[in-house]
Chain A
């Protein structure tokens, strides 16, 4: 019982990591109906930028927002330079481009920063608190809290601001929005910028736990996909709930399903992706898309 509880609490903590990156995936999907395979690598690169700033003597709490701004600008720049020329291309082209972007950024980071794992400072200590007999560290709780704050911020932005409304309109009805005077193309760029900033929060939260190195996000992004798909790909709340469910499921399946074992965790994540797509393509929080024929 004690162990079950600890597995659940630890799973929620790991899920917080998946959720934070899943949020960024959801943002881009909302902006242009595209899954960005380079999201993890962009987050990793931003985290290296944060570490460079901190290593040059900048205070953590100054480096954090500065990194968000740089990541935001970087996301917009990538959209303008790489995505915009192929904006109207088939979705497959865009997917391949984001895959290429992922490889490119990974190699670039390796070239500049090297592959030796690095320590990354965390504002939260690894001291533990006792929750009904299970232990959670302040660091884990911090990751979940930050994911929650980011979720709230995204929700407020998308649902309660004009910019958010415009972004959603541009994504869902680009032609009509254009007729109403919305700069659809710039809204897409804004989506990339925001996703990049949200992703960098994820990177900064994850780095103290997984160690910062160019491949830090490569496995995380698979779990983040599972989280986003489970949550219904376009729902920020779904991404967070999905992340937590994936984190807990992967933990429990590894321990309580003897044929899975500790070494098939990734298979569980993939099974979740396939299962959701087959049984409930809109996920837990997604709305079925209605199309007039």
Chain B
């Protein structure tokens, strides 16, 4: 793929050269807003301050990957990738302003890897109405995959066919937990703590759907609002409900205290921890604050930089080379390898677009023509794939368990492709 891409690039460059010299009728390579003969401009909004600032490093890692591609391969097809990152502080109101700024002032070709469910939802209608690609949003909200091409719920004249997610959908993740519970804890009494917004409800729906006729295994589900000071009351109630298996569909700021509270309540349930909360850095804080962290299960689909089994893996070596381009990035932070992995897909799409560097073509490849089997930063076997009828790029994940200092992969990849409509 890469090889043929560079051939096409060479031919394209040759043709462009011919066109420039002769002024003949040979059609020039097609471009669009934000693309020049030697550059492509991508835009991004992400939280680099505020409550979710821990995610902010993702964009820096993505920039590091683009820098690596620019330095070692001269960009894509002779075009260097420029990447403009703006900090929205995880506040959707800011996301709207900054996205408009990137589209209208900076004239970006596409938005790439914007972060946050609420934030990216807030600009989805705008970007689709302007036909600006909203590629590979950094949220597992199922709607960014399941509702591809559907009319906007607010304005049916806008079709959501310029937006696509990347990471596995939250519902798919929850379905994998359901499978794991049914296989390994068939008699479990499940208690769920979830955030009372789209994010938490997405997970809860996936769990219920995954359990299917066994949904009655859920003995209690308790929600909390992000304005809550603590979730102690909910956890006390969940414990009193007799649950022996606790699902945390929470954000890190609530997950860590919840893990500590469980220990403080003298409760030792099996814990299923959503992937949003499972980075090592958070587990470390929970442990330092007294959480027992026994019997904790989660899922992964990206290679964990702290896992010794990847020490001599070529993908991990590449990641380390890439991340050296970012002075503020912690090489062990799982968010950074996430950034490198999604940037890898972005570059893959641009390579495929070749000389036809239009928004429409790039979106078409991203949403319907992806077939990556060699993303070096993902677990072996994870495929990034979209077709004209399937817009869920990543659907495979593997169960992982906490071993006290890191995550251990269990079993093999579980694929939820086609199960979520």
Contacts and interface: CB of A to CB of B under 8 A. Distances in A.
B232 A128 contact: no
A251 B237 CA distance: 10
A218 to B, nearest CB: 9
B255 to A, nearest CB: 10
Nearest to A13: B232
Nearest to A217: B229
Interface stretch (A109-117, A176-184, A229-237): A109-117
Contacts of B224: 262-263, 265
B54 A115 contact: yes
Nearest to A254: B233
Contacts of A119: 284-285, 288-289
B236 A262 contact: no
A93 interface: no
A116 B54 contact: yes
Interface stretch (A29-37, A54-62, A155-163, A206-214): A206-214
Nearest to A135: B266
Contacts of B53: 110, 114-116
Nearest to B333: A116
Interface in B243-275: 252-253, 256-257, 260, 263-266
B286 to A, nearest CB: 8
B200 to A, nearest CB: 10
A24 B290 CA distance: 28
B225 interface: yes
B317 interface: no
Contact of B196 (A14, A213, A263): A263
Majority DSSP secondary structure for residues of A touching B: helix
Interface in B190-248: 196, 222-225, 227-234, 236-237, 239-240
A10 B236 contact: yes
A219 B225 CA distance: 11
A135 B264 CA distance: 8
B256 A117 contact: yes
A58 to B, nearest CB: 18
Contacts, number: 126
B290 A264 contact: no
Contact of A126 (B228, B230, B234, B264): B264
A91 interface: no
A3 B256 CA distance: 23
Contacts of B196: 263
A252 B232 CA distance: 11
A251 B232 contact: yes
A49 interface: no
B281 interface: yes
Contact of B233 (A10, A128, A139, A219): A10
A114 B47 CA distance: 12
Contacts of A254: 233-234
A121 B54 CA distance: 21
A194 interface: no
A11 interface: yes
In order of increasing CB-CB distance, the 9 nearest A-B pairs are: A115-B53, A126-B290, A3-B240, A119-B288, A251-B233, A263-B225, A137-B264, A263-B196, A262-B234
Given A115-B49, A117-B253, A266-B225, 17 more contacts: A6-B239, A14-B229, A110-B53, A115-B52, A115-B54, A117-B282, A119-B285, A122-B290, A135-B264, A211-B289, A215-B50, A215-B51, A255-B233, A262-B231, A265-B224, A265-B225, A266-B229
20 contacts: A7-B237, A14-B232, A114-B53, A115-B52, A115-B54, A116-B54, A118-B285, A119-B289, A126-B263, A128-B266, A135-B264, A140-B264, A209-B257, A210-B257, A211-B289, A213-B51, A215-B50, A254-B233, A263-B196, A266-B228
